[in-house]
A = this chain, B = another copy of it.
Amino acid sequence: MTVAGSESHWRLAMSFTEFDLIERYFAVEKVSRSDVILGIGDDGAVLKVPQGKELVVAIDTLVSGIHFTDDSDPASIGYKAMAVNLSDMAAMGAEPAWATLSLTLPEVDHDWLTAFRRGFFELANRFNVQLVGGDTCHGPLAVTIQLHGFVNTGEFLRRDTARPGDRVYVTGVLGDAGLAMSIKKGRYAVPQNGYEYLIQRLDRPLPRVKEGLSLNGVAHAAIDISDGLMSDLGHILAASQAGATLYVDRIPVSPVFNSYREQMDNNAWIDMAVSAGDDYELCFTVDPRQQDMLSERFSATQYTCIGTINSSPGLHCVFENGDEFIPASIGYDHFKDQ
C-alpha cells in the first residue's frame, strides 16, 4: 500500500518502502480477528462485515507542531492517536474492529517506533482492534488512523437528532486536560497531589467506547468532546437545528480540578471546563422519559445532566440562580458562527 514516484517532484520514498515498516513493527501484535480475511502485506486488506451490521468509519490525523511536538513521548502519541479515533467510534455507538495506520516519519528511529507501537497497541488490544493495513512515508511527523467499527443495522448515534425537551448529559468530568496543559505551560503551580492524574487525563484519555455502545436506543443525539463542550454541543445544536440551555454550575469537574478553582479568576474555571477540549467524554441528549433506562445502562458510569434542548436556536449559558454566564472562550466564537 505504499506509494512512491520518481525522484524530486514525486520522489522515491524507497528507503522507507524497503524497511517495510508496517510489516516489521506492526504486523506482530496480539489481536487476530476472524473477520479479517487478508491483513497487512498486500495492496489492501480484505474484511468481512458481520451479517446484520453496518460499517462505521472515522479518520483522524495528528500532526507534530499542532497536536503534539517532535519531542513528545512517542508512546503517548501512539496512544492518543488511537484514543481520538476510538472516541469517534464511541460517539457513533459503534463497536471498533479494524484500524489502518498511515505514518509519516522524518527518520526511521527504532526506539521511537517501538514506543509508538506500545502506546498504539495498548488501546488497540484493549478494544480488540486489529491493525489491518497501512502506509509509511518520509516527511514531517504525522499520524493518520482510520478506524472501522460495527453497528446493528440502523442503530447508531448521530448529531442531528437532538429534540426540544431532551436533557443534555456528559459522561465523566470536564476540564482536566485543559488544566494539565495550563500547568505544563506554567500558568498554575504544579499540585502537590494529582498532577499524575491530570497528565494521564491529557495524554491517556480512555475513550468511552463501552458507554457509546450503551447509548444506542437511549440517546437521541451524541458527540464526543474533543474541541470542548461548547463547541461540540454547538455541533449537535447546529445539526439538529435546535438550541440549548446549559447550567454552567452543574458542569462536573474532578476533585483535583476543583482544588485549583481558588487560583483562578472569578469564573475562569467554567471557561476552562467548557472550552479547553481534549476531554474525550461523550455529550448526549436523552428524552426525559428515557431517564430510567439511562440510569440502568449507566449504573457504573459517572454522568451528569447539564442542560436541556430548546426549540429556539442559541446556546444559553446560565447559573442555577438564573444569572447569565458569558463564556470568554473561542469555543463560543465557533458556535456563534452557526
**Residue numbers in B under 8 Å from A54 (CB-CB):** 37, 46-48
Give the oligomeric copy count.
2
Contact B43 A88 (CB under 8 A): yes
Within 8 Å by CB of A42, from B45, B148, B158, lies B158
Q: Give A221's nearest chain B residue, CB to CB.
A: B42
A108 contacts partner chain B, Cβ-Cβ < 8 Å? no
Contact A138 B202 (CB under 8 A): no
Tell me which of A61, A68, A158, A184 has the highest count of chain B C-beta atoms within 10 A of its own C-beta.
Answer: A61
Contact B44 A58 (CB under 8 A): yes
**Residue numbers in B under 8 Å from A322 (CB-CB):** none
**Residue numbers in B under 8 Å from A47 (CB-CB):** 54-57
Task: Tell me whether A133 and B66 are in contact in the complex, defined as CB-CB below 8 angstroms, given that A14-B330, A47-B54, A146-B146 are known contacts.
Answer: no
Contact A140 B140 (CB under 8 A): yes
**Residue numbers in B under 8 Å from A211 (CB-CB):** none
Contact A181 B88 (CB under 8 A): no
Contact B43 A181 (CB under 8 A): no
**Which chain A residues in 120-145 approach chain B with CB under 8 Å?**
132-135, 137-140, 142, 144
Q: Which A residues are within 8 Å of any B CB, using their own CB? A: 1-14, 17-18, 37-38, 41-49, 51, 54-69, 72, 80, 84, 88-89, 91-92, 94, 98, 100-102, 104, 132-135, 137-140, 142, 144, 146-149, 151, 153-154, 156, 158-160, 177-178, 181-182, 184-185, 202, 223-224, 226-227, 231, 239, 276-278, 330, 333-334, 337
Contacts A/B (CB < 8 Å), 22 sampled: A1-B88, A3-B67, A4-B226, A5-B177, A5-B226, A10-B80, A10-B177, A11-B67, A12-B227, A42-B239, A43-B92, A43-B159, A44-B89, A44-B149, A49-B55, A57-B133, A59-B135, A60-B102, A102-B144, A140-B140, A142-B142, A146-B146
**Residue numbers in B under 8 Å from A184 (CB-CB):** 8-9
**Residue numbers in B under 8 Å from A2 (CB-CB):** 60, 226-227
Q: Give A202's nearest chain B residue, CB to CB.
A: B10
Contact A60 B1 (CB under 8 A): yes
Within 8 Å by CB of A159, from B13, B41, B80, B277, lies B41
**Residue numbers in B under 8 Å from A18 (CB-CB):** 333-334, 337
**How far in angstroms is the closest Cβ of chain B from A278?**
4
**Residue numbers in B under 8 Å from A140 (CB-CB):** 63, 139-140, 142
**How far in angstroms is the closest Cβ of chain B from A31?**
16
**Residue numbers in B under 8 Å from A58 (CB-CB):** 1, 43-45, 133
**Residue numbers in B under 8 Å from A158 (CB-CB):** 38, 42
Contact B1 A72 (CB under 8 A): no
**Residue numbers in B under 8 Å from A17 (CB-CB):** 227, 231, 334
**Residue numbers in B under 8 Å from A133 (CB-CB):** 57-59
Contact A94 B44 (CB under 8 A): yes
**Residue numbers in B under 8 Å from A139 (CB-CB):** 63-66, 140, 142
**Residue numbers in B under 8 Å from A80 (CB-CB):** 10
Contact B135 A60 (CB under 8 A): yes
Task: Tell me whether A46 and B3 are in contact in the complex, defined as CB-CB below 8 angstroms, given that A57-B132, A278-B10 are known contacts.
Answer: no
Contact B66 A7 (CB under 8 A): no
Task: Tell me whether A3 and B84 are in contact in the complex, defined as CB-CB below 8 angstroms, given that A38-B156, A158-B38 are known contacts.
Answer: yes
